[in-house]
Chains A and B, each alone.
Chain A
Amino acid sequence: MSQQLYLSSSPHIHSGETTSDVMRAVLFSLLPACVVAVYFFGPPALAVLLIATLGCMAAEVICQCLMGQPVSSADGSAAVTGVLLAFNLPPTSPWWLTLLGAVIAIVIGKQVYGGLGSNPFNPALVARVVLLISFPVHMTTWSLPAPLGSGLDLVTTATPLGVWKNAVMLTGHAPPEMQAGTLSFFLGDMPGCVGEVSALALLLGAAYLFYRRILTWHIPVAYLGTVVLLSGIFWLVNPEKYPDPVFHLVTGGLILGAFFMATDMVTTPVSMTGMLVFGVGCGVLTVMIRLFGGYPEGVSFAILLMNAATPLIDRYTRPKAFGMPRGEGWR
């Protein structure tokens, strides 16, 4: 009988929530944004979503087979990477671009580092940035949303951030028509990447993650708070040249970035203080790149840069251990 007994170190019970549960919850939370994307951009968006997701999963399986590791695609992390990558691509991306992105995300962004948990950079963002730099034309061709059933064709245009940046560069002040559509931007009626357009759908998904206690408030709040504060200051100084904070919030990939990309557990600090520092850093970099940089959108670069700083943040923001005098030796 004794041979059937299990022996182990304490504790002997477990919360029951596993890594794949977490990944499944994240996938579920991304669903509303997927639906909105398909509603506004139609079949092309669906194609991008499918190619990216399946591409990532296939790339992971192939990689692991080649390296002789156990195949772990069942944990859902590759699917999450795939959906997030799709969210960061324009709906008009050709199939080969999407597939290339998927391969870059999984192979360079994740598997060469040893797979799940080891990658220092967010794989989806690595892929996006590689594509953005390698194929700037494909990656910055945007189309106007054409809601399903409205019969409109997809029309090539620029994102609100792009329109604004161009106007500032050419005329020195913001285009007047941009200030109008905050509400429709919030709902998702704007040109942009597949998943970033509808702040509402993203917030719905984020709310679910908060409910499941998979997200903590630290990074999103610090990130968005910093963006609002900093852009607010610039706006107050010169409302002619700099857009208001609400415009910053609802356009571009800020909501997607703050709730889903910057909160990627693997590539962000582990302590609460660290997360706050991370969020603030992302916010500052995003505003700086948006307002003064060469690119109209800075979310991806900001998060990647802070990913790079994560080990350092972790190092200098260790929590104050129980029983340690405040501010002594620790931290």
Chain B
Amino acid sequence: MVDLFVILVSAIFVNNFVLARFLGICPFLGVSKKVETALGMGMAVTFVMTVATVVTWFVQYFVLIPFGIEYLQTIAFILVIASLVQLVEMVIQKVSPVLYQSLGIFLPLITTNCAVLGLAVLNIQKDYTFLEGVTFAIGAALGFTLALVLFAGLRERLELSAVPPSFRGTAIALITAGLLSLAFMGFAGLVKG
């Protein structure tokens, strides 16, 4: 139990996927203009990450290892994740057109998102059990959502402030992301994970 908690806290705060591991920067910058959209994206990522972890774990331990083809890990994972995200996209488009519209082109981006692939690979590297892996995935996704929502809040506020023209848009977003990442350094050493 304690182990799982440590994994969770570590993935959310200490080794935050976006702000400490710098994975998934593209949606972090792209889908963080509005808090609502960020929440939607966060939920989509949480879902994808969790499902991807489950599937890749099974692929790893029931397909790749038994057949001795671990060297195909990357390509197999990409294949699985890509088709999975396609599936999610179709479902969302049908079930919630509003959410689909606000997530826009970034849903397909989860397909090739290094955060998801990175998570799957890290899971295997760290020799996590199935339960640990899922916990790690949820933690990572929550961390991603946390960073995304915090950042979206900041950007919404920036919209109302008098940022000099040359810094408007992505420039100031990158600076803010840097400062946010600095603040997250405070969690360093909180738990060894």
A interface vs B, CB < 8 Å? 67, 108-109, 111-115, 117-118, 120-121, 126, 129-130, 133, 285, 288-289, 292-295, 298, 300-302, 304-305, 307-312, 315
CA distance A292 to B189 in the complex (A): 7
Given A112-B163, A114-B164: A308 and B175 interface contact (C-beta under 8 Å): no
Interface of B is mostly: helix
Determine if A295 and B175 form an interchain contact, defined as CB atoms under 8 angstroms apart. Answer: no
Picked from A121, A288, A307, A310, the residue with its CB within 8 Å of the CB of B190 is A288
Question: With a CB–CB cut-off of 8 A, which chain B residues contact A302?
Answer: 186
CA distance A298 to B185 in the complex (A): 11
CA distance A305 to B157 in the complex (A): 16
Picked from A108, A111, A117, A308, the residue with its CB within 8 Å of the CB of B183 is A308
Question: With a CB–CB cut-off of 8 A, which chain B residues contact A288?
Answer: 190
A118–chain B nearest beta-carbon distance, Å: 3
B interface vs A, CB < 8 Å? 35, 149-150, 153-154, 156-158, 161-164, 167, 172, 175-176, 179-180, 182-191
Chain A residue with the shortest CB-CB distance to B156:
A311
A86–chain B nearest beta-carbon distance, Å: 20
- Total A-B residue contacts, Cβ distance less than 8 Å: 95
CA distance A315 to B149 in the complex (A): 12
Question: With a CB–CB cut-off of 8 A, which chain A residues contact B184?
Answer: 305
Given A292-B190, A293-B188, A295-B189: A113 and B158 interface contact (C-beta under 8 Å): yes
A312–chain B nearest beta-carbon distance, Å: 4
Picked from B158, B164, B185, B188, the residue with its CB within 8 Å of the CB of A120 is B158
Determine if A315 and B186 form an interchain contact, defined as CB atoms under 8 angstroms apart. Answer: no
B191–chain A nearest beta-carbon distance, Å: 7
CA distance A129 to B184 in the complex (A): 11
Chain A residue with the shortest CB-CB distance to B182:
A129
Chain B residue with the shortest CB-CB distance to A111:
B164
Determine if B180 and A130 form an interchain contact, defined as CB atoms under 8 angstroms apart. Answer: no
Interchain Cβ contacts under 8 Å between A and B, 26 examples: A111-B164, A112-B163, A112-B164, A112-B175, A113-B158, A113-B161, A114-B162, A114-B163, A115-B162, A117-B161, A118-B158, A118-B163, A120-B179, A126-B179, A126-B182, A129-B182, A129-B183, A292-B190, A293-B187, A295-B186, A301-B185, A302-B186, A308-B180, A310-B153, A311-B157, A312-B150
Top 4 A-B pairs, shortest CB-CB distance: A294-B189, A301-B186, A311-B153, A118-B161
Question: With a CB–CB cut-off of 8 A, which chain B residues contact A311?
Answer: 153-154, 156-157
A314–chain B nearest beta-carbon distance, Å: 8
Chain B residue with the shortest CB-CB distance to A115:
B162
CA distance A115 to B158 in the complex (A): 12
Chain B residue with the shortest CB-CB distance to A63:
B164
Determine if A294 and B149 form an interchain contact, defined as CB atoms under 8 angstroms apart. Answer: no
B168–chain A nearest beta-carbon distance, Å: 9
B190–chain A nearest beta-carbon distance, Å: 5
